[in-house]
Structures are given as structure tokens and as C-alpha cells.
Amino acid sequence: MRILMVEDAEDLAEGVMAHLARSGVACDLASSVDDARDCLAVQRYEAILLDINLPDGSGITLLREMRARADRTPVLMLTALTSVEDRVEALDQGADDYLGKPFDQRELEARLRALVRREADRKEEQITLGTLQYAPKDRSAVLNGRHLDLTRREAALLDMLIRYRGQYLSKARLYDSLYGFEDADVGVNAIELYIARLRKKFAGSGVSIVTSRGIGYRIDVDA
């Protein structure tokens, strides 16, 4: 297992990393939000230990960026802040768990194992919407028994619509999920093109993408 620890307290980070290494866990260290962004740009992790208070900003900012681009890597927040409001904000922004400082290393490792196990179980799931079967693990889809040929962007868009099925997602939010914070030379209206492509592939299947003018899109199954 390889994880990323985003923590500016050097002594704490070194202690945690030493314990994790003895448990067979490889751990990269980033001491700031910008360092963490650099790590995430080149490496995939099974989990992230994320401090809230960092020298160049809040870990919640990084968490918000990750979730906006549909990065579902499990995140365990670490912080000395103990108010209910702090915990609620972290969880509302997409954190999977929360551990206050100081903490016991055994609890930290147990929580990490639980998060990684939960994510592995989630990826094995198959989601069925009418005649559509979707596998989150590899973002593959089968419609009426036939494999859907999806581009990377189409698969990312379908993943967001299915993950938040029942909810309308704005064009801006879908744009962030497809392009994240990369320097994309396309406008937000590109989402309309990908929505049209998915609709064409769903034609006649009973699966549809519903538009609510001024609000966004959601995936649905015709009654």
C-alpha cells in the first residue's frame, strides 16, 4: 500500500512514516498544499493523510479540489482543531474519516486499513440502472448486454452522473470533474457535447440524461 501524508510538522510526520514503514506501508510526504498537488499529479495513492492547517493554506482546499475532479482517493483528515464545526466541514467537503491530534498510531493504521478496504469493496460493486450496468472500478459500462465504447471524458462524465444519481449536477461541476485543474483549452459548454454523445449511445435503451434548465443534468431511467 502506498499513501501520501500531507503534514508540515516534521517530527510527527517522521514518526508516523517510520511506523507505517514497519507495517509495510510506503508513505510519501508533502509539507504543503502545493507539494501535495505535485505528488498527486504524478502518483496515485491508496489513501491520503491530510492535515488541515498547512503553511500555504488549508488541507480542505486540496480536498475540495480532489473531489471536484472526481478523485475518490480515501482521505483521513488529521488536525489539532477539535470543534464540531471543523469536523463537519471536513466531512461535508468529502473527507472519509477524521482523527484529532494527538492520536495513537495503532488507531491511525486501523482507520487507514478500514478506508482502503472500504474503497476496494466499493470498486468491486456493479451499479444497475435499468438496462445499464456500470462498474466503478474501471469505469466500464454495458447497455442491453453490449459493452459501451466510451472515451475517457465520456466515462468520467458518466461516472459523475451515476455517482450522484438522483441529483442534478451543474454544468460547471461536471466541467471540473472532466478537466479538474488542468489547463484545458475548452470552455464549460464542452459538457453539452459530451452529454449529447452519451444521449446518442443511450438512445432507445430507457436510460436518459435529464436536463433542468439553469440547474444541470441527472441520469434517469424512463418509467
Quick: pLDDT tens for 16-49: 999 999 888 889 999 999 999 999 988 888 899 9
Give the residue, 173 or 201, on which the prediction is more confident. Answer: 201
Last residue of a domain, one of 56, 91, 124: 124
**Least reliable range by pLDDT among 57-66, 67-76, 145-154, 191-200:** 67-76
**Least reliable range by pLDDT among 1-5, 38-42, 82-86, 149-153:** 82-86
Q: What is the pLDDT, as a whole number, of residue 180?
A: 57
Those residues whose C-beta lies under 8 Å from the C-beta of residue 65, and which sit 6 or more positions away, are 37, 180, 181
Q: What is the pLDDT, as a whole number, of residue 125?
A: 73
Spell out the long-range contacts of 140-143 with Cβ–Cβ below 8 A and sequence spacing 24 or more. Answer: 143/201, 143/202, 143/205, 143/207
Q: Is pLDDT above 80 for 184?
A: no
Q: Residue 202 belongs to a domain with what CATH number?
A: 1.10.10.10
Last residue of a domain, one of 101, 124, 147: 124
Quick: pLDDT tens for 57-69: 999 999 988 888 7
Q: Residue 42 belongs to a domain with what CATH number?
A: 3.40.50.2300
Reported pTM: 0.59
3-state secondary structure 99-140: EECCCCHHHHHHHHHHHHHHHHHHHHCCEEECCEEEECCCCE
Q: What is the pLDDT, as a whole number, of residue 175?
A: 83
Q: Helix axis angle, 171-179 relative to 190-202, nearest 10°?
A: 90
Last residue of a domain, one of 124, 145, 164: 124
Q: Is pLDDT above 70 for 208?
A: yes
Grid coordinates standing for 110?
A: 486501523
Q: Are residues 114 and 163 in the same domain?
A: no
Yes or no: say if 67 and 45 are a contact pair by the CB < 8 Å rule.
no
Q: What is the mean pLDDT of residues 131-154?
A: 90
Yes or no: say if 125 and 72 are a contact pair by the CB < 8 Å rule.
no
Cβ atoms within 10 Å of 199's Cβ, excluding its own: 14
Counting the structural domains of the chain, the total is: 2
Q: Are residues 103 and 17 in the same domain?
A: yes
Residue 157 backbone phi and psi in degrees, to 5? -65, -45
Angle at the Cα of 56 from the Cα atoms of 11 and 25, rounded to 5 degrees: 45
Q: Are residues 16 and 102 in the same domain?
A: yes
Q: Are residues 110 and 16 in the same domain?
A: yes
Q: Are residues 73 and 143 in the same domain?
A: no
Distances in whole angstroms, Cα of residue 31 to Cα of each of 14, 28, 38: 12, 10, 11
Instruction: Give the whole-angstrom CA distance, residue 192 versus residue 77.
Output: 36
Nearest to 161 by CA among 93, 209, 211: 209
Q: What is the pLDDT, as a whole number, of residue 87?
A: 73
Range of the domain at 83: 2-124
Q: Are residues 134 and 114 in the same domain?
A: no
Distances in whole angstroms, Cα of residue 66 to Cα of each of 36, 41, 93, 94, 144: 11, 11, 10, 9, 33
User: 180: left (phi > 0), else alpha (psi -120 to 50), else beta?
Assistant: left
Q: Are residues 61 and 112 in the same domain?
A: yes
Q: Are residues 88 and 193 in the same domain?
A: no
Quick: pLDDT tens for 80-135: 766 677 777 778 888 888 888 888 999 999 999 888 888 776 666 788 999 999 98
Q: What is the pLDDT, as a whole number, of residue 183?
A: 47
Q: What is the pLDDT, as a whole number, of residue 121?
A: 67
Q: What is the mean pLDDT of residues 194-205?
A: 94
